[in-house]
Structure 1
Amino acid sequence: MTTPHTIAIDGPAASGKSTLGKLLADHFGYIYFDTGVLYRALTYVALEQAVDLANAAALAKLAQTTNFDVLAPSIADGRQYTVLANGNDITWPLRAANVERNVSQVAAHPAVREALRDTQRQIGKAGHVVMAGRDIGAVIMPDAQLKIYLDASVEERAQRRAQELNARGRAISYNEVLADLTRRDAIDAANTFLAADAITISTDGRSPEDVFQAIVNLMGVEAQA
């Protein structure tokens, strides 16, 4: 396989999309774009402005009238990117508990997804991009040269997410995260698509580096030492 100029990564929450996407982007010198960031950003702004999260039309209008930017990291604080809403840095607030609880509801509205798809597609058309989400290979970048679908059991994903959140100083139990991911999976199911030509990889019990190496081996390119 020749080196792909566009890579789509799909899968459920906490399946390892962001970590793999960043590893691949760094390896090839590509842009890494997590489309979930846009839905988180919209959720955060909607909560800040007290917009009814059940009102699809109001959320779609908010998406169209808010200037969202996803840029390279501007601060060395562990972030993978910098997210701006009308020029304001909202990167870390996007991981707040209230955003986590509500982002699936916001992203489930077809009008919201349609409002944000043009932005995603424009980034994809530029090429040299690794894009992660739930409908990238099937909907946003159907012509992507490499499509990956990452899967993992909800128990494995809950363990990872609990460790991640606790490492950031947010005290939360495994059972709380498991319940939240189970709830989110049910909501996200309608908008999670496996492209017919995607390569499915289970990440249960595998490190991010192991999954990354499997992908570069598949492409026939050497991973950097």
Structure 2
Amino acid sequence: MKKITIAIDGYSSTGKSTVAKQLADHLGYVYVDSGAMYRAVTLYAMQHGIISKDKFDIPELKEALPSIQLKFKKEPHWEKARIYLNGNDVEDEIRNLEVSKFVSPIATIHEVRVKLVAQQQQFGLEKGVVMDGRDIGTVVFPEAELKIFMNASSVERAQRRLKELLDRGDSVTFNEILKNIEERDFIDTTREDSPLRKADDAIEIDNSEMNLEDQFHVALQLAKDRIAGRI
């Protein structure tokens, strides 16, 4: 069976990573969470005082980029690959709301995107890869055989994110999360460098009224049809 490249883009908290991982597991493909890469760079910037509520030292971030090394590691007993920042597992640290507040500004920096896009493209050289993010179908893999664009209402996305963070034990409120999502949407869609947009040949899935199983089966059928050459 031939292998294809699957690019999944969309707004934050639309379930991109969940469906991408499900597809990769089912098809035996490699899953790459591009968002984790931007979050890891953001965590580095926070840890080194490059970005905070009152500061964003862009020249210092650019100077630090050669010192930021990212890798994904997957052990047989792990459910998914985890991201390592300069040799340290930061998979859990990058998922909190504080990192979410700063990741979109970090992702607007051209030099950051150039560095990470080059790494992402290396992952897809041999096909058989599923990658999700904001510019996968438009910039990273413009020739991907299947492009999916995930969407959902901001309220629904905020409710999902709230549950996720509360289940982790984080202290957050719905309004705080909704504000963060709306701010990220604005930054992601209006930035000059690789803004979030639906590729012309992408298939949109609005999962506002879907559960995880429903959205997976919709995406899986699209993948099967594309692999078989039916669409």
The question of a shared fold, defined as TM-score above 0.5 by the shorter chain, is answered with yes
- Of 66, 70, 74, the residue aligned with 1:68 is 70
What is the distance in 2 between the residues matched to 1:180 and 1:103? Answer: 11
1:50 aligns with 2:49: yes
Name the structure 1 match of 2:220: 216
Give the SS at the match of 1:125.
Answer: coil
Name the structure 2 match of 1:59: 61
- Of 164, 176, 197, the residue aligned with 1:193 is 197
Number of paired residues?
Answer: 218
Name the structure 1 match of 2:167: 167
1:110-160, CA deviations, whole angstroms, 9 ceiling, x for partnerless residues? Answer: 221112211011112232110000000010001111000001110110010
AA at the equivalent of 1:135: D
Cα gap change, 1:216 to 1:96, in 2 (>3 Å): closer
CA-atom RMSD in angstroms: 1.9
Give the SS at the match of 2:56.
Answer: coil
Name the structure 1 match of 2:37: 38
Name the structure 1 match of 2:126: 126
Name the structure 2 match of 1:106: 106
Report if aligned partners of 1:8, 1:137 keep a CA contact under 8 Å in 2.
yes
AA at the equivalent of 1:6: T
Report if aligned partners of 1:35, 1:132 keep a CA contact under 8 Å in 2.
yes
Report if aligned partners of 2:6, 2:130 keep a CA contact under 8 Å in 1.
yes
What is the distance in 2 between the residues matched to 1:44 and 1:193? Answer: 25
Percent identical residues: 38
Match runs of 1:11-26 below 5 Å: 11-26=10-25
Give the SS at the match of 1:7.
Answer: strand
Name the structure 2 match of 1:206: 210
Structure 1 residues not aligned, in runs of 5+: none
Q: Which stretch of the first structure deviates more once superposed, 83-92 or 134-143?
A: 83-92
Structure 2 residues not aligned, in runs of 5+: 226-231
Aligned-residue offset at 1:173:
1.8
Q: Which stretch of the first structure deviates more once superposed, 21-30 or 190-199?
A: 190-199
AA at the equivalent of 2:202: A
